[in-house]
Amino acid sequence: MASFELGGSLPVNRIGYGTMRLAAAPEPGYDAGMGHIWRAPADREAAIAVLRRAVELGVNLIDTADSYALGENEELVAEALHPYRDDVVIATKVGVVRPSPTEWVPLGHPAYLRQQAELGLRRLKLDHIDLLQLHRVDPHVPLEDQIGALRQLVDEGKVRHIGLSEVGVDELRAAQEITPITSVQNMYNLGARQHEDVVDYTAAQGIAFIPFFPVAMGAHAAADGPLAAVAAELGATTAQTSLAWLLRRADNILPIPGTTSIAHLEENIAATAVRLSDAQFERLSAIAPVSVDA
C-alpha cells in the first residue's frame, strides 16, 4: 500500500479509517442524517472487530473526534487498539460541542480546546496525540487564539502535529503564519469538489489532505453513470473507483472511508490496487461535480 509522510515524520498508508460511522442508531425522533453519531454502537464487539481488522489489513491512520458520541468514540478506539502498534497514527479533533443529537457547534475558546485534548489523551490512553485537528474554526474567537492553544499543546509535548478541518486556502495560510500545519480534513470526493484549490495548495506545500465522505454518492454512483462504466472496465466497484480517483488526484490525499462492515472495509482498502489509466482518470475528472456548501 502506498504511503505518505504525515508532517514529514509519520509514514501512513494512503487509505485510513474514519470512525465517525461507528455509532448507535439515530435517536428516536431524529433522522439518520442529523440524529446520528450521538452514542456508541450497541454492538460494541462488532465495532471493535472492524477497527482491529482495519489495522490487520495495513490501515495505520485512525481518525476520530471528541464530538463523536460525546467522547465514547475515542474510548472505543482505545478499547479496540490499545496498546497501539508502533506504526499506528491516531488522529482526533477538538473544537465542536454537541448540545443535542442535531447540533454541531464550533467552540474555539483556548481553554476548552486544551481541556478537550486532555480528555482525548485519557480516553485514547495516549501520552501524546499524533495529529490533533481543529474540528471547525470558531468565527467568534480569533484564529491566533485557537491555533495558539493547539501550539501550546505541541510545546508541552502532548500533541505532535496540528491539522485543520473544513478550511479554505486563506484560513490555512493564516494558520501557517502561527505554526506549521500538517493536514487539512475537508469534505471532498468525485462529486463534491468545492475544495479543489485547497487540494492543489496542500499538495504544493507537502500538507496532507484528508477527504471525509470520500466515496461519491447519489447520481455520481448511479448504475448507469460514467463512474460505473469505468468501474466495470477495471473490474472494480464504484466505491473502489471513487477512492482510486482520489489517490490518483494528488499524492498527498489520504482518504478515510468509514464503515461498520468488515466486507466494505476490505473492499475500500483493496482500492489501493486499482489503477486508472490516464484516459479513465480524465473521464472521471470531467464529471460535473454537485454544488456543495463548504
Residue 156 in contact with residue 143, Cβ under 8 Å? no
Determine the Cα–Cα distance for residues 88 and 90; give it in Å rounded to an integer: 7
Catalytic annotation on 201? no
Q: What per-residue string of b and e applies to 14-31 under the rule 16 or more CB within 10 Å gives b?
A: bbbbbbbbbbbebeeeee
Catalytic residue among 68, 84, 188, 201: 68
Supply the residues annotated as catalytic: 68
